[in-house]
Amino acid sequence: MDLKRRWESPYRLLLERICHLFAYIIYGSNSSCWCSNIYFTVEFEPHATSLEQKGEGYVVASLGEDSGYVPYTSFSAKKSYLEENADTVQAFTDALQKGMDYVQNHTPEEIAQAISPQFPETDMETLTTIVDRYYQQDTWKENLIFEEDAFELLQNILQDAGVLERRVPYEDLVTKDFARKAAE
């Protein structure tokens, strides 16, 4: 079910109220609103998996699966910086692509082992479960190329949320040169 149809469901009023509630909650403390009158919540990992492991909840949907490739992380720089520091930008992009290649060519267990030093508070079983979920959902793209459809999706989301006053043409804001070269 896509996000638009889900939003237009009979639960819209409930969703709106919960979304307004989440607007006041600081990221990382979502669990503070877990109470008897809330039947679902939006969580980041590893908290979502932790709720499942404790028997306190279930992961029933992924925003990433339902929305498509939303450019959740992107990098911005002035045009002058890109021109004056092209080698640095390319090296940075190449390093990120190397990580993308690793994810594409390794198992969830291998990925979990590789990233475990970044998550010392998360045990290997939980980390593997999370990575496997992302792997099954096809969360990670094969490359870093910021495609126009993803850019338009991001603008749609920001506009629907009321935080984007005017749309920007893709070609005025995005360069794919560095990502294309890194993907070669």
Place of tokens 């993308």: 100
The predicted pLDDT at position 180 comes to: 96
* 137 close to 125: Cβ distance less than 8 angstroms: no
User: Residue 161: which residues within 8 A CB-CB, separation 6 or more?
Assistant: none
AA letter at 7: W
Residue of 39 and 107 predicted with greater confidence: 107
Report d(CA 150, CA 146) in Å as an integer: 7
Report d(CA 111, CA 83) in Å as an integer: 34
Within 10 Å of residue 57's Cβ, how many Cβ atoms? 19
* pLDDT grade for 38, boundaries at 50, 70 and 90: low
Taking residues 171-177, report their average pLDDT.
Answer: 94
User: Residue 112: which residues within 8 A CB-CB, separation 6 or more?
Assistant: 124, 127, 128, 130, 131
Q: Which residue, 112, 71, 74, 117, is CA-closest to 92?
A: 74
pLDDT of 19 over the 60 cut: no
* pLDDT grade for 99, boundaries at 50, 70 and 90: very high
pLDDT of 75 over the 90 cut: no
Coil, strand, or helix at residue 88? helix
Q: Is the pTM of this model over 0.75?
A: no
pLDDT of 13 over the 70 cut: no
